[in-house]
């Protein structure tokens, strides 16, 4: 086999789709949010073409006004092909459970912590999971300067795994949103994460742009395109999703 199928660690933290970078916003006590997101990724490297289709369902619940618990269930279908062979894998990936706590908020500036872990529900032999429980902690900062919002994420991931990957990973990313007209926002995102492959010192980096349209106060649809800035990152991906708050 000419390649190793990998899953993206970005799925460990769920942001306002299509953004990768999370914000400090929470649902409010007793309120729910459910997201249905899809992504198609295309990558070509060393004669191998990899196509990845991902779908994720994320449920958030407001334990208090400043604390959310977040459950994520991702699904992946991966196909890789070169001139001699083709390989594919599909199924549920590693399920995540996270807690977001906004601990500071004043004059448009807010900070939050988001610890979490993933359960080894994905088949690691097919590249759909790590094979072990992983842990992560993200620091989130949001600054509101209407009509702009800016978000920063700094994260540590303890990548326990059965695939001889690096165990200590970091993540850094920055996002911005701006309200173009009523109910329509443009979003932009850039980020970098340490490569889990022990043999590579070039880290995956991405840039993303998209739109979020609010059909109502509690229902959004979104679309985005992500591009790879370094070779280990997927060349391009198309993202779409819906969000319902109740």
Assess if residue 103 is contained within a domain.
Answer: yes
Show the tokens assigned to 217: 């106060």
Residue 128 to residues 38, 73, 90, 120, Cα–Cα distance (Å): 16, 12, 7, 9
Is the torsion defined by CA of 21, 195, 237, 189 positive or negative?
Answer: positive
List the pLDDT tens digit at each of the 246 positions of the chain: 333 444 444 445 557 899 999 999 999 999 999 999 999 999 998 888 999 999 999 999 999 999 999 999 999 998 888 867 778 888 999 999 999 999 999 999 999 999 999 999 998 888 889 999 999 999 999 999 999 999 999 999 999 999 899 999 999 999 999 999 999 999 999 999 999 999 999 999 999 999 999 999 999 999 999 999 999 999 999 999 999 999
For residue 244, which of 221, 211, 213 has the smallest C-alpha distance? 221
Other beta carbons less than 10 A from residue 73's beta carbon:
15
For residue 50, which of 58, 42, 40 has the smallest C-alpha distance? 42
Assess if residue 2 is contained within a domain.
Answer: no
Assess if residue 107 is contained within a domain.
Answer: yes
Query: How many domains does the chain contain in total?
Result: 1
Assess if residue 4 is contained within a domain.
Answer: no
Output the pTM of the full model. 0.92
Give the CATH number for residue 197: 2.40.128.130
């Amino acid at each position: 086999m000419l390649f190793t199928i990998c899953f993206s660690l970005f799925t460990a933290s769920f942001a306002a789709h299509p953004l990768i970078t999370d914000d400090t916003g929470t649902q409010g006590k007793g309120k729910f949010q459910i997201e249905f997101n899809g992504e198609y990724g295309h990558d070509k490297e060393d004669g191998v073409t990899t196509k990845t289709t991902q779908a994720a369902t994320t449920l958030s619940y407001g334990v208090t006004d400043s604390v959310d618990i977040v459950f994520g269930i991702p699904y992946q279908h991966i196909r890789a092909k070169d001139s001699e062979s083709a390989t594919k894998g599909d199924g549920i990936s590693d399920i995540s459970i996270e807690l977001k706590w906004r601990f500071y908020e004043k004059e448009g500036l807010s900070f939050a912590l988001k610890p979490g872990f993933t359960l080894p529900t994905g088949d690691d032999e097919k590249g759909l999971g790590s094979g072990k429980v992983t842990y992560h902690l993200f620091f989130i900062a949001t600054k509101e300067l209407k009509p702009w919002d800016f978000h920063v994420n700094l994260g540590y991931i303890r990548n326990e795994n059965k695939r001889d990957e690096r165990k200590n990973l970091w993540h850094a990313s920055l996002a911005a949103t701006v309200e173009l007209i009523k109910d329509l926002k443009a979003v932009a995102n850039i980020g970098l994460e340490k490569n889990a492959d022990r043999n590579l010192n070039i880290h995956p980096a991405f840039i993303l742009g998209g739109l979020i349209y609010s059909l109502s106060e509690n229902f959004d649809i979104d679309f985005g395109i992500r591009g790879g800035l370094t070779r280990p990152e997927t060349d391009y991906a198309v993202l779409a999703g819906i969000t319902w708050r109740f």
